[in-house]
Structure 1
Amino acid sequence: MTEKVRLVRDHLKAAQDRQKSYADLKRRPEEFIVDKQVLLRVSPMRGVVRFGAHGKLSPRFIGPYEISERVASHVLDPESLDLDTSLSYSEQPVRYLDTKVRSTRRKDISMVKVLWSNHEHEATTWETEDSMRAKYLHLFQKWSEWET
C-alpha cells in the first residue's frame, strides 16, 4: 500500500511540474511606463457589492487609469488597518451621504451613497438601499433618530 501511495504522489508531482512548465511559457514580467493607461483587475468578494453589478455581470477590470509615477514598493501602515489572522480586513460603512431613485422599466430602485472606512482618502459608492439595510441596519437607525 505504501508503494502505491508513493507511485500516485510521483505521478501527481510529474503532472504538476508539466502543467507548470506550460504555464511558465506564457508568463512575462510586466513593465509599466509612466503616462500610459492600464486597467485594474477587480477581485470580487462574496457578499460585497462594488461597481454596481452582481455575479457574472460584475466587471473583471475597471479603468482605464493613467500611471502617474513609478513607486518601488508600497508598504501599508499596519496601524491604519485592523487585520485579522488571515491578513484581511473588512470595510465598514461610516454613514450614507445621499439618496436617489433609479428608475427602470418595471420598478424603481432606491440607492444610497455610502462613505466607507479603511481608506487613505474617503471612498464612496452607490449601493442599493435594500442590501445596505439588510447588512448594516444600524446606519439607518442612527439617521432616523437624528431626523426626528
Structure 2
Amino acid sequence: MKGVLRFGKKEKLRSLFIGSFKILERIGSLAYRLTLPPKLTTVHNVFHVSMLRKYVHDHNHVISYQTLEVQKDLSYEENPTMILDRKVHQLRNKVLLVKVQWQNHGRDESTWKKEEKLKTKYPELFN
C-alpha cells in the first residue's frame, strides 16, 4: 500500500460519498473492483462491500468531475482563491494568520497560513 493515495488525513473517506462508479468485477465474496475516474488513479480500486452503497437511478442526477492538471510525479499546483478570515496568533511574537480557501477544495478544507508568506507569493489576494 506504499504510495497509494487515501481520502483525507485519517485514512477514511472525507465526505459521505465520493461518487457513483461502475463495478468491473467481483473479487471473492466481499470485495469489488470499481472503475475510477482519471483523477483517482492513485487510489486502490478494490473496495469492501461495506464501503459501497446501492445507487438508485435518477434522471436528474448528473455527476460532474473537476479536471486537474497533474504532472508526471502525480502532483498538482494548489492556488488560493480567496481569504476567508484573519486572526492574530500571539506567542512570543505576534503572527498574523489568514484563513485561505484553495482552488480545488471546499470551504471546510480551508487552512490557516502566515499572512506574510502569502503576501510574497500571492500578492493579488490582498488587493
TM-score using structure 2 length:
0.49
Could you say which structure has the larger radius of gyration? 1
Q: Highest relative contact order (Cα 8 Å, sep 6+), 1 or 2?
A: 1
The structure whose residues are more often helix, as a share, is 1
